[in-house]
């Protein structure tokens, strides 16, 4: 037996009053005279202050009947030889094996000395003693009976203790598996009911809330006669007679055991500040054993409450935005994942983006923006009262869940896309972008993916300054196909499959070649070429751009050297993006190539678009200046579209401005475009930049450009981008 069970048995149940306040001894004897004298000797015997009741049977068969109807018998005095020689021993066997009673004590008596049973039989059936009737004096008999009743009592208590221990263990096991408070408390009431039995009574569990002056004790679980009272409060009239005990438990923060009811007190204050009262209306007085059992079980309940509180705390952290007090991205994903097909078909999402939120974060700081978001939540609640749930998914983006029928109309959304938010007396002007998502067609998509796709649509809309975008199913296909394309691009880069086309830059007066621009191409197996605007944005978004442009750079260097080898010392420009310039290993690689002397710096020209160069003007200035100092050319691509400030243009680290093709395109049709071209040419003259016009397709455009003072250009009028051998052939023909 294990020590704990023993300690528990002693501790918890030694004072247990027995079912009936008496001891019972059964004498089985076929000799009536001896039976009578035995009865006589035992009459009036008591043990530990309780009387000893005597039952008799005159045959093994009669004894078996008594034993099976009375489970309170502690000792059997058994005559060994009765109807048959072994009748007594067979009775022992059926007590132990058939009735399955291992506890009742058995003392064998015999009238014939020398008829002692074998020791192995005594051991097998747990028979305690063997007495010769003649030796059993009245005193001895009393001593024997008392000692065996003591043993029996002890064994009974042990058995009961083991049972309750098992019940507690079983109950605790099921408690620990409950993760939400309602389920946990309900199961805890059931277990208490099973452990102590509350016939006619009932149990309620209530959570304490509110202030100390007006405390609320909401019932969160109830059983037995209180089962119907789930919505009430412990202040209800029906609980009036327990008021004192309840108050005492709350005051002392300890369990209270009263006459016919008990109040258990639990708190998880350190985790979530909660307290719980469990009122057990047991209807009758609890035995001391029950009380001990409740105390032991309470330890498990305490751990259970703590587990549930911890789990809730963890979910709170995982699924809630604590600052805004609404669900976060994880919470939203869970919400969407939990929707069944019917719910998805009838629901829609409305994504709301605060435009330029990241800029605000940089300008105003986190605390201000937290406050702004909090205020913004009020705005949302007011503007969209039909919303079912609202989530904050980060970066000033929110997602509202709507019943599809209640999704706000487009006009309303456009109207709501400008918000004035008053904060500490300052009016903040917010521009919003909305994206509507119908969840119906997206049944099979995981929640995270839906959100991801919708956010991409939202960002695309923000970039185009749109107040509203409807997330079309087609968008998903576009993204999926982009994803496939990206995988192929990755492979193409690994296999060095990309190649360059070269487009000449020519002197607009003479048509003479002055250099080339290298433009990347991705040849497919079928001989077609993927144009760069299909994969450059993809490469940029996925971080592949630098390795792509590194390959382009090396191919450019090779091309320059090949051209030189053929006697054409012409500069070749290559295109870069802002992420290239931010990538130190990329820029370092260019510098190393130039300084190592593998190429004449003057034959390299780096192109960066105006908008990208200006996005981080001071960050790029030093770098571009370094390229110029090394002798390279720096061209500002698509010039005229990037809104350079005039003060920056004066100090621009560049050698060339390339007039964007959109202006060239408009020449001859739009006066405005002509003015822009003329202005760029004047800037070039004033600040000493070379001017190159791109996208020249007609003789008229060429003439107007020349007249405006632009003397270098590229475009289909002169040549399309060509493979290097074709470009060399073109050069040869020129000469």
Partner touching 321 among Ca ion, ligand C2E, none, CB below 5 to 8 Å by kind? none
- Nearest approach, Cβ of 649 to Ca ion (angstroms)? 18
Q: From the list 575, 577, 583, 665, which residue makes contact with Ca ion (rule: CB under 5 A)?
A: 575
337 and 356 Cβ atoms separated by less than 8 Å:
no
CA 630 to chain centre: 53
Closer of 348 and 695 to ligand C2E (Cβ): 695
Which CA distances in Å does 35 have to 63, 91, 620?
Answer: 13, 18, 117
76 and 44 Cβ atoms separated by less than 8 Å:
no
- Nearest approach, Cβ of 573 to Ca ion (angstroms)? 7
User: Would you count residue 416 as binding Ca ion (CB under 5 A)?
Assistant: no
Tracing tokens 């003789």 back to the chain, one arrives at 699
Closer of 439 and 536 to ligand C2E (Cβ): 536
* CA dihedral (91, 92, 96, 102) positive or negative: positive
Q: From the list 267, 281, 335, 638, which residue makes contact with Ca ion (rule: CB under 5 A)?
A: 638
- Nearest approach, Cβ of 691 to ligand C2E (angstroms)? 15
Cα–Cα distance measured from residue 387 to residue 390, given in angstroms and rounded to the nearest whole number: 7
- Nearest approach, Cβ of 658 to Ca ion (angstroms)? 6
> Which among 517, 520, 504 has a CA at the least distance from the CA of 732?
504
Tokens of 65: 């009947």
Measured from the Cβ of residue 443, the count of other Cβ atoms closer than 10 Å reads 11
Q: Which residues contact 683 (CB under 8 A, 6 or more apart)?
A: 649, 657, 689
Cα–Cα distance measured from residue 219 to residue 232, given in angstroms and rounded to the nearest whole number: 6
Closer of 262 and 575 to Ca ion (Cβ): 575
* Count of residues engaged in binding ligand C2E, rule: CB under 6 A: 23
Per-residue binder mask for ligand C2E (CB under 6 A), 714-733, x = binder: xxx----x------------
Tracing tokens 């700081």 back to the chain, one arrives at 365
User: Would you count residue 637 as binding Ca ion (CB under 5 A)?
Assistant: yes
Closer of 519 and 624 to ligand C2E (Cβ): 519
Residues belonging to the chain: 735
Partner touching 396 among Ca ion, ligand C2E, none, CB below 5 to 8 Å by kind? none
Part in contact with Ca ion (CB under 5 A); list of ranges 180-188, 523-531, 635-643, 703-711: 635-643
Partner touching 262 among ligand C2E, Ca ion, none, CB below 5 to 8 Å by kind? none
Cα–Cα distance measured from residue 207 to residue 278, given in angstroms and rounded to the nearest whole number: 9
308 and 276 Cβ atoms separated by less than 8 Å:
no
Cα–Cα distance measured from residue 266 to residue 271, given in angstroms and rounded to the nearest whole number: 12
Partner touching 721 among ligand C2E, Ca ion, none, CB below 5 to 8 Å by kind? ligand C2E
Closer of 162 and 521 to ligand C2E (Cβ): 521
Q: Count CA within 13 A, CB hemisphere, residue 219.
A: 22
User: Would you count residue 520 as binding ligand C2E (CB under 6 A)?
Assistant: yes
22 and 53 Cβ atoms separated by less than 8 Å:
yes
Per-residue binder mask for ligand C2E (CB under 6 A), 543-582, x = binder: ------x--x----------------------xxx-----
Closer of 331 and 695 to ligand C2E (Cβ): 695
- Nearest approach, Cβ of 518 to Ca ion (angstroms)? 9
- Nearest approach, Cβ of 178 to ligand C2E (angstroms)? 58
- Nearest approach, Cβ of 520 to Ca ion (angstroms)? 10
Q: Which of residues 670-709 bind ligand C2E (CB under 6 A)?
A: 694-697
> Which among 205, 216, 217, 219 has a CA at the least distance from the CA of 175?
205
Q: Which of residues 246-285 bind ligand C2E (CB under 6 A)?
A: none
> Which among 659, 662, 638, 650 has a CA at the least distance from the CA of 712?
659
User: Would you count residue 536 as binding ligand C2E (CB under 6 A)?
Assistant: yes
Closer of 476 and 505 to ligand C2E (Cβ): 505
192 and 261 Cβ atoms separated by less than 8 Å:
no
Per-residue binder mask for ligand C2E (CB under 6 A), 477-506, x = binder: --------------------------x---
Cα–Cα distance measured from residue 327 to residue 320, given in angstroms and rounded to the nearest whole number: 4
Q: Which of residues 591-650 bind ligand C2E (CB under 6 A)?
A: 637-638
431 and 418 Cβ atoms separated by less than 8 Å:
yes
Closer of 291 and 717 to ligand C2E (Cβ): 717
Closer of 519 and 614 to ligand C2E (Cβ): 519
User: Would you count residue 532 as binding ligand C2E (CB under 6 A)?
Assistant: yes
Per-residue binder mask for ligand C2E (CB under 6 A), 318-357, x = binder: ----------------------------------------
Report phi then psi at 236, rounded to 5: -55, 145
Burial class for 301, CB neighbours closer than 10 Å (0-12, 13-18, 19+): buried
Part in contact with ligand C2E (CB under 6 A); list of ranges 176-184, 316-324, 408-416, 531-539: 531-539
Closer of 281 and 638 to ligand C2E (Cβ): 638
Closer of 307 and 661 to ligand C2E (Cβ): 661
CA 383 to chain centre: 30
* 179 SS3 class: coil
Q: From the list 444, 526, 533, 671, which residue makes contact with ligand C2E (rule: CB under 6 A)?
A: 533
Cα–Cα distance measured from residue 638 to residue 659, given in angstroms and rounded to the nearest whole number: 6
> Helix/strand/coil (H, E, C) string of 298-319?
HHHHHHHHHHHHHHHHHHHHHH
Q: What is the DSSP letter of 259?
A: S
Q: Which residues bind ligand C2E (CB under 6 A)?
A: 503, 519-520, 531-533, 536, 549, 552, 575-577, 637-638, 661, 694-697, 714-716, 721
> Where on the chain is the footprint of Ca ion (CB under 5 A)?
575, 607, 637-638
């Amino acid at each position: 037996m294990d020590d704990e069970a023993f300690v528990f048995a002693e501790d918890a149940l030694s004072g247990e009053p027995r079912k009936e306040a008496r001891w019972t001894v059964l004498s089985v004897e076929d000799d009536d005279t001896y039976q009578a004298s035995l009865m006589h000797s035992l009459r009036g015997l008591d043990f530990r202050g309780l009387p000893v009741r005597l039952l008799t049977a005159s045959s093994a068969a009669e004894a078996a009947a008594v034993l099976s109807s009375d489970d309170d018998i502690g000792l059997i005095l058994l005559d060994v030889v009765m109807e048959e020689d072994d009748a007594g021993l067979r009775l022992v066997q059926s007590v132990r094996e058939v009735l399955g009673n291992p506890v009742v004590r058995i003392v064998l008596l015999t009238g014939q000395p020398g008829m002692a049973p074998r020791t192995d039989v005594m051991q097998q059936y747990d028979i305690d003693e063997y007495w010769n009737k003649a030796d059993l004096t009245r005193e001895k008999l009393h001593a024997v009976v008392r000692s065996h009743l003591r043993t029996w009592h002890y064994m009974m208590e042990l058995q009961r203790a083991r049972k309750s221990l098992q019940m507690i263990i079983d109950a605790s096991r099921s408690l620990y598996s409950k993760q939400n408070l309602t389920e946990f408390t309900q199961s805890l009431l059931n277990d208490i009911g099973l452990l102590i039995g509350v016939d006619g009574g009932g149990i309620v569990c209530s959570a304490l809330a509110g202030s100390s002056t007006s405390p609320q004790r909401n019932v969160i679980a109830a059983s037995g006669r209180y089962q119907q009272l789930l919505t009430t409060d412990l202040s209800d009239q029906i609980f009036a007679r327990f008021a004192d005990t309840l108050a005492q438990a709350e005051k002392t923060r300890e369990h209270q055991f009263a006459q016919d009811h008990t109040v258990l007190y639990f708190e998880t204050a350190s985790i979530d500040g909660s307290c719980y009262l469990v009122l057990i209306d047991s209807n009758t007085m609890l035995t001391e054993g029950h009380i001990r059992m409740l105390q032991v079980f309470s330890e498990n309940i305490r751990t259970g409450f703590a587990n549930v509180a911890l789990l809730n705390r963890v979910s709170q952290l995982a699924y809630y935005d604590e600052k805004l007090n609404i669900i976060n991205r994880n919470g939203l994903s869970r919400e969407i994942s939990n929707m069944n097909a019917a719910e998805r078909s009838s629901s829609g999402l409305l994504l709301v983006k605060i435009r330029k939120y990241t800029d605000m974060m940089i300008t105003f700081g986190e605390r201000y923006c937290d406050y702004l978001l909090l205020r913004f939540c009020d705005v949302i609640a007011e503007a969209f009262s039909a919303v079912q749930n609202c989530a904050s998914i980060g970066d000033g983006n929110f997602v509202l869940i709507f019943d599809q029928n209640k999704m706000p109309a487009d006009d309303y959304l456009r109207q709501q896309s400008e918000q004035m938010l008053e904060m500490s007396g300052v009016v903040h002007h917010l521009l919003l972008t909305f994206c509507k998502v119908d969840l119906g067609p997206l049944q099979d998509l995981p929640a995270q993916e839906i959100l991801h796709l919708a956010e991409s649509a939202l960002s695309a809309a923000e970039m185009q300054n749109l107040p509203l975008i409807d997330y079309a199913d087609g968008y998903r296909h576009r993204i999926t196909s982009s994803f496939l394309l990206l995988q192929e691009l990755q492979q193409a880069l690994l296999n060095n499959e990309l190649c360059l086309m070269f487009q000449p830059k020519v002197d607009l007066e003479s048509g003479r070649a002055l250099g080339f621009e290298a433009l990347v191409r991705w040849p497919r197996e079928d001989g077609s070429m993927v144009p760069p605007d299909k994969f450059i944005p993809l490469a940029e978004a996925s971080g592949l751009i630098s390795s792509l442009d590194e390959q382009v750079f090396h191919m450019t260097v090779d091309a320059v050297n090949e051209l030189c080898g053929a006697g054409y010392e012409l500069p070749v420009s290559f295109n870069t993006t802002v992420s290239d310039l931010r990538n130190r290993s990329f820029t370092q690689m260019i510098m190393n190539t130039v300084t190592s002397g593998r190429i004449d710096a003057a034959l390299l020209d780096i192109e960066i678009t105006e908008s990208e160069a200006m996005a981080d003007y001071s960050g790029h200035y030093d770098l571009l200046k370094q390229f110029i100092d090394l002798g390279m050319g720096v061209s500002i691509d698509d010039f005229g579209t990037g809104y350079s400030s005039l003060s920056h243009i004066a100090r621009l680290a560049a050698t060339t401005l390339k007039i964007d093709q959109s202006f060239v395109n408009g020449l001859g049709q739009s006066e405005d475009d002509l003015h822009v071209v003329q202005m760029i040419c004047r800037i070039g003259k004033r600040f000493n930049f070379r001017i190159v016009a791109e996208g020249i397709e007609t003789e008229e455009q060429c003439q107007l450009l020349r007249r405006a003072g632009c003397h270098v250009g590229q475009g289909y009028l002169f040549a399309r981008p060509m493979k290097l051998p074709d470009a060399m052939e073109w050069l040869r023909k020129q000469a």
